[in-house]
């Protein structure tokens, strides 16, 4: 089955009522026929739902779809993207292990590396997205995980997944990729050698800004470790959110196609605007890693970054002048969302730290939505011209 068909036809069993659409299984636990059924279920001699912290028909359906879409063997669903990131590391690492990570990772992931993991004597070394030749020099005897996101947030840089896959293989590291910005529709890191793929389902997978969710998929033995850790520590996704997100996946392909079509048009418009210094969009030939993006992505995604002339003040004025686009911290919504990292999400970074992750004072990040594209462009244009 092709992607769109899997997204729609991967489904959990129906009840005696023969629902066409998947029912919502709002139940914390499940009953057993008798003592032997219960014993065999707990002994994992039978595949049976026991308790919704372990599994539930709705989370199983959601996970099965992501597993199929990413070409993985197994997966587990989490309450949030960060629960997926944290639990993956916590399940697989021991005290004294070492991580090599891209410097351009999601803010809370960076905080895990710098503030929390050192408590357990787990240290992280960073490489910059434009200095991948330094990765091998960072690897130590105790390095266990190679970690990256691509495209990156907020500067929309692209890392070569094939290259990362080769380095991980050569040094016997686990390659873990946060594939949130690309979605399983645009990019499948497992094809390039990733062992595990993580998504914040809060973003384009939900796509409508309603629920939080996360998922990790990959090799069965690794997912087994993550599952056992999670079934005891409790970061599970709620059945309701799984039901919403599984429904969302049915339309992922058409939504993401349209997001990308709109984003490319906005990027092309911005490229010729006199108030704009530069535009970064993976499928514009001017993007520094355009060839890599073409190699590993189906389309360019929905995030467009550009630098407005005039720095911090121009960035703030631009945000204040928008009439349709929202100022919000989310991304991947039907609504176009604009942020100014230098004055908001990344304001606490030093100038050097901002440079390391490609954030200039005038950088604007747009998560292009599904509004009629000329309305988005006109709104951005009038705000740039004020």
What six digits make up the tokens of 260? 């990308």
Alpha carbon distance 303, 289 (integer Å)? 15
Closest CA to 193 of 218, 215, 216: 218
In three-state secondary structure terms, 286 is: coil
Rule CB under 6 A: is residue 367 a binding residue for ligand PLP?
Answer: no
Rule CB under 6 A: is residue 333 a binding residue for ligand PLP?
Answer: no
Q: Closer to ligand PLP by CB, 79 or 270: give it.
A: 79
Q: Which stretch binds ligand PLP (CB under 6 A): 154-162, 195-203, 313-321, 356-364?
A: 195-203
Q: Closer to ligand PLP by CB, 61 or 149: give it.
A: 149
Alpha carbon distance 243, 32 (integer Å)? 24
Rule CB under 6 A: is residue 341 a binding residue for ligand PLP?
Answer: no
Nearest approach, Cβ of residue 152 and ligand PLP (Å) = 8
Q: Closer to ligand PLP by CB, 110 or 275: give it.
A: 110
Question: Considering only residues 203, 298, 346, 365, which one is a binding residue for ligand PLP as defined by CB under 6 A?
Answer: 203
Query: Looking at the DSSP assignment, which residues form a beta bridge with residue 76?
Result: 216
Restricting to residues 272-331, which ones interact with ligand PLP according to CB under 6 A?
none
Residue 362 zone, left/alpha/beta (φ > 0; ψ -120 to 50; rest): alpha
Nearest approach, Cβ of residue 328 and ligand PLP (Å) = 12
Nearest approach, Cβ of residue 138 and ligand PLP (Å) = 21
Restricting to residues 79-98, which ones interact with ligand PLP according to CB under 6 A?
80-82, 85
Q: What binding mask, one character per residue, do residues 61-80 give for ligand PLP by CB under 6 A, x or -?
A: -------------------x
Q: Where are the beta strands (DSSP E) in the chain?
A: 74-78, 98-102, 123-127, 143-149, 174-178, 196-200, 214-218, 276-280, 303-308, 337-339, 363-367
Q: Closer to ligand PLP by CB, 80 or 246: give it.
A: 80
Nearest approach, Cβ of residue 105 and ligand PLP (Å) = 7
Question: Considering only residues 61, 97, 160, 178, which one is a binding residue for ligand PLP as defined by CB under 6 A?
Answer: 178
The CA-atom distances, in angstroms, between 324 and each of 34, 210, 301, 344, 378 are 59, 19, 21, 20, 9
Residue whose Cβ sits closest to ligand PLP: 81
Question: Would you say 353 and 242 are in contact if contact means Cβ atoms under 8 Å apart?
Answer: no
Question: Considering only residues 200, 230, 302, 360, which one is a binding residue for ligand PLP as defined by CB under 6 A?
Answer: 200
Q: Closer to ligand PLP by CB, 77 or 266: give it.
A: 77
Rule CB under 6 A: is residue 239 a binding residue for ligand PLP?
Answer: no
Q: DSSP assignment, residue 104?
A: -
Question: Would you say 263 and 302 are in contact if contact means Cβ atoms under 8 Å apart?
Answer: yes
In three-state secondary structure terms, 186 is: helix
Alpha carbon distance 298, 211 (integer Å)? 26
Q: What binding mask, one character per residue, do residues 97-126 give for ligand PLP by CB under 6 A, x or -?
A: ---------x--------------------
Alpha carbon distance 369, 376 (integer Å)? 8
Q: Closer to ligand PLP by CB, 331 or 384: give it.
A: 331
Nearest approach, Cβ of residue 235 and ligand PLP (Å) = 10
Helices 81-92, 220-233: inter-axial angle, 10-degree rounding = 110
Q: What binding mask, one character per residue, do residues 136-175 give for ligand PLP by CB under 6 A, x or -?
A: -------------x---x----------------------
Nearest approach, Cβ of residue 187 and ligand PLP (Å) = 13
Phi and psi at residue 76, to the nearest 5° = -145, 140
Q: State the number of CA atoms in the 13 A half-sphere of 271 facing the CB.
A: 13
Q: Closer to ligand PLP by CB, 27 or 330: give it.
A: 330
Nearest approach, Cβ of residue 375 and ligand PLP (Å) = 25
Question: Considering only residues 165, 214, 282, 301, which one is a binding residue for ligand PLP as defined by CB under 6 A?
Answer: 214
Alpha carbon distance 278, 267 (integer Å)? 10
Binding stretches for ligand PLP (CB under 6 A): 80-82, 85, 106, 149, 153, 178, 180-181, 200, 202-203, 212, 214
């Amino acid at each position: 089955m092709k992607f769109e068909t899997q997204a729609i036809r991967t489904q959990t069993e129906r009840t005696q009522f023969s629902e066409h659409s998947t029912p919502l299984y709002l139940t914390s636990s499940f009953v057993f026929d008798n003592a032997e059924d219960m014993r065999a279920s707990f002994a994992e001699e039978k595949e049976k739902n026991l308790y919704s912290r372990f599994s539930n028909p709705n989370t199983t359906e959601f996970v099965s779809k992501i597993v199929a879409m990413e070409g993985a063997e197994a997966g587990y669903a989490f309450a949030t993207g960060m629960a997926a990131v944290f639990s993956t590391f916590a399940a697989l690492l021991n005290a004294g292990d070492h991580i090599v990570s891209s410097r351009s990772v999601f803010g809370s992931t960076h905080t895990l590396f710098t503030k929390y993991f050192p408590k357990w004597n787990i240290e992280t070394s960073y490489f910059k997205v434009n200095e991948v030749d330094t990765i091998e020099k960072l690897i130590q005897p105790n390095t266990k995980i190679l970690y990256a996101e691509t495209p990156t947030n907020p500067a929309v840089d692209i890392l070569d997944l094939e290259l990362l896959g080769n380095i991980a293989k050569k040094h016997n590291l686990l390659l873990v990729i946060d594939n949130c910005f690309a979605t399983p529709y645009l990019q499948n890191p497992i094809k390039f050698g990733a062992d595990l793929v993580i998504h914040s389902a809060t973003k384009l997978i939900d796509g409508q800004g309603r629920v939080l969710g996360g998922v990790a998929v990959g090799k069965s033995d690794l997912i087994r470790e993550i599952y056992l850790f999670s079934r005891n520590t409790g970061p599970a996704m709620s059945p309701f959110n799984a039901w919403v997100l599984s429904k969302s996946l049915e339309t992922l392909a058409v939504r993401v196609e349209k997001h990308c079509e709109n984003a490319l048009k906005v990027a092309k418009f911005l490229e010729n605007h006199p108030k704009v210094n530069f535009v970064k969009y993976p499928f514009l030939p001017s993007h520094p890693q355009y060839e890599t993006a073409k190699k590993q992505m189906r389309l360019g995604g929905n995030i467009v970054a550009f630098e407005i002339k005039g720095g911090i003040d121009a960035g703030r004025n631009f945000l204040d002048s928008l009439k349709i686009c929202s100022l919000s911290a989310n991304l991947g919504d039907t609504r176009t969302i604009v942020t100014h990292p230098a004055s908001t999400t990344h304001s606490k970074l030093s100038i050097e730290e901002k440079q390391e992750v490609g954030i200039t004072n005038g950088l604007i990040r747009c998560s292009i939505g599904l509004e009629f594209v000329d309305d988005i462009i006109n709104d951005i244009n009038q705000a740039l011209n004020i």
